[in-house]
Amino acid sequence: MFIGLTFASASLADERPSPPGPPDAASTFVASSAADRLAAWVRETADNQGLPFLVIDKVSAQVAAFDREGRLIGVGPALLGLARGDVSPPGIGARPLSTITPGERITPAGRFLASMGENLGGKGILWIDYDAALSLHPVITTRPADRRLQRLATATADDNRISFGCVNVPADFYAGVVEPVFRDTTGVVYILPEVRSVAEVFFLPAVVPSEPDQGRGAPDQVSAPRPSSRPPLHPPPAAP
């Protein structure tokens, strides 16, 4: 079981978490069934390989942070890409924001090896997928018309789709939870799908045995996907 964590089969959108704080303060966190299964699988299989990790539920617009042992550190709301989808458009990370259409503003699903870094403006961010210019960072407030702070504060996830693909979180959650968890280490970020299945995104097919009469193996015989590479030193412009 997860210490200080209650999982249920309700949607994360049905109940907002307590503000970020110590593990006991997050004991009322209610996960979607998909987030429940994935977090339990990570803990049981040690897929995080001894690294801290995040589980990002796009449907419910929430981020849960765990330490190396799989204990919940904190949970908070998130803003995500405007468009529904699980795969980033090819070459999206090298394109100017002005060329990205609303339908291409996707937060991709998958398993990523993430680490702290900076954007071109020198602001601290958590790089999730460098090639796609995908990061998690404090909420962007430079466009008042976006109402990003207000969107984070609402009790529903219906209005949390606004970004170009990056994950925006409250500044205090970033400073109090994300930065300490990923300081001086890499970590794993699991972003749940919203169109594809969890099995399709996170579990590779079982290895086919050489003997033809043994079949393909049981459905639960899965292996972890390979993480992305560590971000290089010179970042591309991250999408807000």
Nearest to 41, CA basis, from 231, 229, 236, 224 = 224
What's the distance, Cα to Cα, between the start and end of the chain in Å? 36
Residue 116 · residue 179 · CB < 8 Å: yes
| Closest-CA residue to 24 (of 63, 75, 77, 78) | 75
What is the percentage of the chain residues whose pLDDT exceeds 70?
Answer: 72
Any bridge partners for residue 47, and if so which? none
pLDDT of residue 123: 85
CA angle 77, 30, 45 (to 5 degrees): 100
Could you tell me which of 89, 88, 47 has the C-alpha nearest to residue 70? 47
Model confidence over 166-183: pLDDT tens digits? 999 999 999 999 999 999
User: Under a CB-based contact definition with an 8 Å cutoff, are residues 2 and 71 in contact?
Assistant: yes
Lowest mean pLDDT, pick from 11-15, 98-102, 123-127, 197-201: 11-15
Q: Rg of the chain over CA atoms, in angstroms?
A: 18
Confidence band of 31 (pLDDT split at 50, 70, 90): low
Structure tokens at 104: 């291409």
pLDDT (0 to 100) of residue 155: 87
181: amino acid identity, one letter: V
* 38-59 per-position pLDDT tens digit: 999 999 999 999 999 999 999 9
pLDDT at 187: 96
Residue 223 to residue 43: CA distance in whole angstroms: 14
**Short-list 187, 51, 42, 38, CA closest to 126:** 187
Judge whether residue 26 has pLDDT over 70.
no
Q: Which helix (H) or strand (E) holds 126?
A: strand 124-129
Residue-wise pLDDT for 80-135, tens only, equals 999 999 999 998 888 888 899 999 999 999 999 999 998 877 889 999 998 899 99
- The helix or strand, by DSSP H or E, that contains position 189, with its residue range, turns out to be strand 187-191
Query: In this structure, what token pair is assigned to residue 119?
Result: 């954007």
Interatomic CA distance for residues 162 and 147, integer angstroms? 9
Q: Has residue 67 got a pLDDT over 50?
A: yes
Query: Per-residue pLDDT averaged across 145-155, rounded?
Result: 94
Of 215, 229, 203, 36, the C-alpha closest to 129 is 229
Q: What is the pLDDT of residue 205?
A: 59
